[in-house]
Structure 1
Amino acid sequence: MGLFNRLDQTVIETSVRGTELLEAPLLNKGTAFTAQERSTLRLDGLLPCRVETMQDQLDRAKITYNKQTTDLRRHVYLRSLQDNNETLFYAFLQQHLTSVLPIIYTPTVGKACQLFSEIYRKPRGLFISHDLIDSIDQMLANVPQDIKVIVVTDGERILGLGDLGIGGIGISIGKLSLYTAIGGIDPYTTLPVTLDAGTNNQELLDDPNYLGHRYNRLDEERYYQMTDAFIAAVKRRWPKVLLQFEDFAITHASPLLARYQDQLCCFNDDIQGTASVTLGTILAAAQRANVPFKDMRVTIVGAGSAGSGIAETIIQAKVAQGATEANARAQIFMVDRLGLVLDNQPDLYPFQQALAHPVSITKTWGTTGERADLLQVVEHAKPHAIVGVCGQPGIFTEAVMKQMAKNHSQPIIMPLSNPTARAEAIPEDVLNWTEGKALVATGSPFNPVKIGETEHVIAQCNNTYIFPGIGLGVLAAKASRISENMLQAAALELSQISNGDFSPGDSLLPPLEDLAVVSHKIAVAVAKQAIADGYSKLESSDAAIEQAIEAIYWRPKYQKTLAS
């Protein structure tokens, strides 16, 4: 039976008693245990005499939360609440989602990852290293749950902060928290994992408190020995699991996805999730700006795995709307730290080569120098949208923004890098430089900006709009794979949700407090596409899909606890 057995949606039974029960976060109700439960589960005397409701506990938790003096302290408090009482933690997240989202996830989670070894309190998730690859089956057996969703990272490229070693598991924990709080995924079926491949961060190697392996990152042979062993063990124990790759460096992100995407149901959120939410936002912005998406030109600043994933997703969407692939590719302009990506560059990865423009384009433009810089690209290509995923603050300069506004009446400006300090531009600057013309979306949260009489609400184009719904749809449909069509369906659904009635200054995306509703609609769209693609045997009717979603949907409510 394991830790507990659900008799139905309101009753569970468990064999654990006393302090052991109070230390089990998925079973602990703290002061909400009833008098009868306290007697039968040997809790008498271990709790204060007052029996509280969940709302009583939430009110006390809010008071304590408000007393924390920094965002990092608020993050640590929420993590301690999660480690003590998981149900209450998720109820708190849902009740205060808009205000706590930046605390439990980006941007504060970046600081928490940097200080992971310092703020570490209780174990959560699995830490797998090369020297233990022969024991991975036993490690997975140490996790008794029926795992349905895994988020795995190797910590090499955390947000825009770089190599944080095992501290990257904070991202996995944060993502899974949102799978549950927004997507309704049962937390008992989720598992955060970090692959401890070492670190090249000298500060961590020199830090006496660092909890990971103190050696430089593994060479390629040993690295893939470890990932192969991990994937093989996961397939043996949980062959139908949904596995999300998170924050892997450019050298491994695309190769890992290509290596394993046909072996189990997996996706890379930085490549595919970011691409999907960006596409959804651009589709919404195109309608606002009255620009046919098929004809849109887009500049992407940052030619790594995330930027290239966005480009390929936009190209696929354009082709689906009737464009030829050649024309769609010609409308995408990738810019790296040296300028426009050209096909004569010797150091391009294959996925970058497919997006490179011929070197002759700069001669056609009459630009000086072999590589056109960002301003020259904007002057000559006249993109309708500019997307930043390079983590270089300030690269969207005043000159670039003014040129965008000169080219188009409503330029689409998307500085998406996280955390906030890594954003390519600040929305207030962008709107001032464009005289309020720009349609702006960012990766991190920003306050509204008032230009003249119009208040501009800044959309947060964050994967949070996408991955919880993808997870819910995949699990409800019992999909065996995640197809590009399913990701496109998620983006299209997001754009349709976003484009109801709107006024000048309105956000390009739905408000954060509607994320659960958005995720539900995306889950339906993803499930339908999984069925159409042949990756699910679920009946395709709306009623069958809704029933499948409701059957697995988890809500943070206390259940009556019985002794087994």
Structure 2
Amino acid sequence: MTQPSASEQEIVNDPILDNVLHPEYQPTVHSDDPLQTSLTGFDLISHSMLNKGMAFSEAERDAFQLHGLLPPHVGTLDEQILRRLQVLRSFATDFERYAFLRDLQDSNETLFYAMLVHNLEELLPLVYTPTVGEGCQRLSEIWRKPRGLFLSYTNKDKIREIFADTRYDRVRVIVVSDGERILGLGDQGAGGMGIPIGKLSLYTACAGIHPLETLPILLDVGTNNPDRLNNPMYIGWSHERIRGAEYDAFVEEFIAAVTERWPNVLLQWEDFAGANAGPLLERYRDRLCTFNDDIQGTAAVAAASLLSAINVTGIPLTEQRIAFLGAGSAGCGIASLLHQAMVDAGLSAAEASKRFYAVDRYGLLVEGMADIRPAQVLFVQNKQDVAHWVRTSSDGISLLDVVTNAKPTVLIGVSGQAGAFSEPVVRMMAQQVERPVIFPLSNPTSKSEAKPQDLMNWTNGKALIGTGTAFPPVLWNGEHYEINQTNNSYIFPGVGLGVLAVNARRITDAMFMAAGKALADLSPTRLDKTARLLPPVEELRAVSVAVAQAVARQAQADGIADQCSDAEVLARIKALVWEPVYRPYQRV
């Protein structure tokens, strides 16, 4: 029989975690309520969820045999944050800062999250995009302690045994990747584990989901990246990627084991290649509570940003003309949600489709082209509608051709092609639209379709810009302007919080529409047309609560969640939000 883990011992008498597991039971838990544990000495301070470092009180040092293991100074959480920030800021590179924060998370999670929650604007780009990209590329260099689960293809018959450990009894949220399409960096194999770890860190930092309720998973099915295969330090399975029926069977075994172990889990797919992302979502979305953040989360935040921009431009959604570069799973996900929003606003499905111009590898998608995927069909242009267009080449209809002829009001990039929004493209758009809305959403920074400073320069300061990753403020006419980070962190933490609060059994497209609209309702542009499109990053915890309420209400309307009043929904949400503070300990 599997022995009780340290995490089970630690929280056996912790009502705040009982509350997470059973939302109908909602005791009030304060930061001064004691947490009982039998761990002592090295076992206690080596446990990342229990370690308080020098903040253990004298009484706790007596009770838990900590004298001699710690310096005599008794500190506070605030002092520790300041000390760690001082060290963090002394490093020369963001990768060094990323590695430092990963070590801190593995040694003292309360301190890590307290530092992150109170410094979101500064630390979010280090914990996630853009720095997580390099973190994935170099994970083999910095991997030190187990976090999450590496499910290797060679261990496909051991998945249930791996899941059986009691330390995972309280898991409610899983983020899984197979590492094949990490941001815009491609196949990183086992290094892709940095993405589930980073995403779940944001679930906790931005929405308060307790760390012990989360589980990052990497499906290690090999890699086709020669840099990984030829690297003797590579931590993953050094084998070419498994494809076809073998891959599908492995994923099926994984899902079957997940639903058996955690019937009510929320599972988020992350950074799967386009050929797998959409099909996996469609295959499993009715079997468990699941979504793909690259497809649905990106769509919701893009929709929210566009709705916020409309407050400035005054052009109704039904009159927008939207060009998007990159017609893969993310691009089609964005377009599909915006298409539905147009239909909800009064257009027919056919009328709405004509307002989208999908540019992929071989140019604008036009009927008759080979290899049109099912998700793209809705956005394929009629040959006759583009026959009269002025074109720069006979090989295909380029993005510049689209901008010249279709005169789009919105330009969205999810291509992973750095600089794809070229100066001629952007200047042409600015000639034809008073306030062009331009969202280069690819990340990390090195893969962005355009630099915000260039967009401001080429549009004479008229562009409304949203980027998929953090950029510094841009200078225009002697003033600095903050750049809107159109990042999924505005959406998925709140979606998860709402799902857990009402025990949603599935996730619908309508729930992501509700999330996007809730975020748009928080846009500073509703009151000030000169303001940023989305709330400041430091307000993400409040944003997540608002998104969670909207998602929970939509789940109830869809008939897939507990039915309760709005007041109870809010109470459940607040009861789920974990605050990273040190609590007093009692020895048992």
TM-score, normalization: structure 1?
Answer: 0.97
Q: Does 1:102 align with 2:125?
A: yes
Show the 5 A alignment for 1:379-398: 379-398=404-423
Is the contact made by 2:156 and 2:253 (CA closer than 8 Å) also made in structure 1?
yes
The whole-number CA distance in structure 1 between the counterparts of 2:317 and 2:156 is 48
Partner of 2:522: 497
SS of 2:267 mapped into structure 1: strand
CA deviation after TM superposition for structure 1 residue 460, in Å: 0.5
Show the 5 A alignment for 1:53-452: 53-142=76-165, 144-145=167-168, 146-367=170-391, 369=394, 371-452=396-477
SS of 2:522 mapped into structure 1: helix
Q: Which moved more, 1:244-253 or 1:497-506?
A: 497-506
CA separation of 1:499 and 1:96: change in aligned 2, threshold 3 A: closer
Q: How many residues align?
A: 563
Is the contact made by 1:441 and 1:458 (CA closer than 8 Å) also made in structure 2?
yes
The whole-number CA distance in structure 2 between the counterparts of 1:455 and 1:79 is 32
Is the contact made by 1:152 and 1:192 (CA closer than 8 Å) also made in structure 2?
yes
Partner of 2:557: 532
SS of 1:192 mapped into structure 2: strand
Q: Which moved more, 1:150-159 or 1:528-537?
A: 528-537
Q: Deviations over 1:476-531 (max 9, x none)?
A: 11111111111000000111100455556532111111111111111111111111
CA deviation after TM superposition for structure 1 residue 454, in Å: 5.1
CA deviation after TM superposition for structure 1 residue 346, in Å: 1.5
Partner of 2:577: 553
SS of 1:182 mapped into structure 2: helix
Q: Which moved more, 1:422-431 or 1:2-11?
A: 2-11
Q: Deviations over 1:3-51 (max 9, x none)?
A: 3224443222122221111111011111111222222222222111222
Is the contact made by 1:301 and 1:389 (CA closer than 8 Å) also made in structure 2?
yes
CA deviation after TM superposition for structure 1 residue 59, in Å: 1.8
SS of 1:24 mapped into structure 2: coil
TM-score, normalization: structure 2?
Answer: 0.93
CA separation of 1:246 and 1:236: change in aligned 2, threshold 3 A: same
CA separation of 1:347 and 1:550: change in aligned 2, threshold 3 A: same
The whole-number CA distance in structure 2 between the counterparts of 1:54 and 1:274 is 35
CA separation of 1:451 and 1:503: change in aligned 2, threshold 3 A: farther
Is the contact made by 2:390 and 2:405 (CA closer than 8 Å) also made in structure 1?
no
Is the contact made by 1:456 and 1:506 (CA closer than 8 Å) also made in structure 2?
no
SS of 1:240 mapped into structure 2: coil
Percent identical across equivalent pairs? Answer: 46
Is the contact made by 1:110 and 1:161 (CA closer than 8 Å) also made in structure 2?
yes
Is the contact made by 1:455 and 1:505 (CA closer than 8 Å) also made in structure 2?
no
Q: Does 1:460 align with 2:466?
A: no
CA separation of 1:65 and 1:438: change in aligned 2, threshold 3 A: same
CA separation of 1:365 and 1:168: change in aligned 2, threshold 3 A: same
Is the contact made by 1:412 and 1:440 (CA closer than 8 Å) also made in structure 2?
yes
The whole-number CA distance in structure 2 between the counterparts of 1:429 and 1:447 is 13
The whole-number CA distance in structure 1 between the counterparts of 2:537 and 2:389 is 42
Is the contact made by 1:129 and 1:226 (CA closer than 8 Å) also made in structure 2?
no
The whole-number CA distance in structure 2 between the counterparts of 1:47 and 1:401 is 59
The whole-number CA distance in structure 2 between the counterparts of 1:40 and 1:361 is 78
Is the contact made by 2:525 and 2:533 (CA closer than 8 Å) also made in structure 1?
no
CA deviation after TM superposition for structure 1 residue 133, in Å: 1.7
Q: Does 1:51 align with 2:74?
A: yes
The whole-number CA distance in structure 2 between the counterparts of 1:261 and 1:391 is 27
CA deviation after TM superposition for structure 1 residue 322, in Å: 1.3
Is the contact made by 2:311 and 2:526 (CA closer than 8 Å) also made in structure 1?
no
SS of 1:26 mapped into structure 2: coil
The whole-number CA distance in structure 2 between the counterparts of 1:143 and 1:91 is 27
CA separation of 1:500 and 1:297: change in aligned 2, threshold 3 A: closer
- Picking from 3, 12, 29, the partner of 2:9 is 3
SS of 1:444 mapped into structure 2: coil
The one-letter amino acid paired with 1:245 is W
The one-letter amino acid paired with 2:34 is V
Is the contact made by 2:210 and 2:577 (CA closer than 8 Å) also made in structure 1?
yes
Q: Deviations over 1:200-257 (max 9, x none)?
A: 0011000000011111000211111111111111101111111000000011000110
The one-letter amino acid paired with 1:78 is L
Is the contact made by 2:308 and 2:525 (CA closer than 8 Å) also made in structure 1?
no
Q: Which moved more, 1:22-31 or 1:245-254?
A: 22-31
> Which ranges of structure 2 fall in alignment gaps of 5 or more residues?
16-28
The whole-number CA distance in structure 1 between the counterparts of 2:465 and 2:525 is 18
Q: Deviations over 1:106-133 (max 9, x none)?
A: 0011001000001111110000022212
The whole-number CA distance in structure 2 between the counterparts of 1:132 and 1:403 is 54
CA deviation after TM superposition for structure 1 residue 396, in Å: 0.8
The whole-number CA distance in structure 2 between the counterparts of 1:100 and 1:388 is 25
The one-letter amino acid paired with 1:419 is P
The whole-number CA distance in structure 2 between the counterparts of 1:266 and 1:11 is 35
SS of 1:144 mapped into structure 2: helix
Q: Which moved more, 1:430-439 or 1:55-64?
A: 55-64
The one-letter amino acid paired with 1:463 is N
CA separation of 1:554 and 1:6: change in aligned 2, threshold 3 A: farther
Q: Which moved more, 1:140-149 or 1:374-383?
A: 140-149
> Which ranges of structure 1 fall in alignment gaps of 5 or more residues?
none
Is the contact made by 1:341 and 1:357 (CA closer than 8 Å) also made in structure 2?
yes
Partner of 2:40: 17
The whole-number CA distance in structure 2 between the counterparts of 1:143 and 1:65 is 35
Partner of 2:22: none
The whole-number CA distance in structure 2 between the counterparts of 1:131 and 1:232 is 17
The whole-number CA distance in structure 2 between the counterparts of 1:151 and 1:546 is 25
CA RMSD of aligned residues (A): 1.4
SS of 1:538 mapped into structure 2: coil
SS of 1:122 mapped into structure 2: coil
The whole-number CA distance in structure 2 between the counterparts of 1:240 and 1:560 is 32
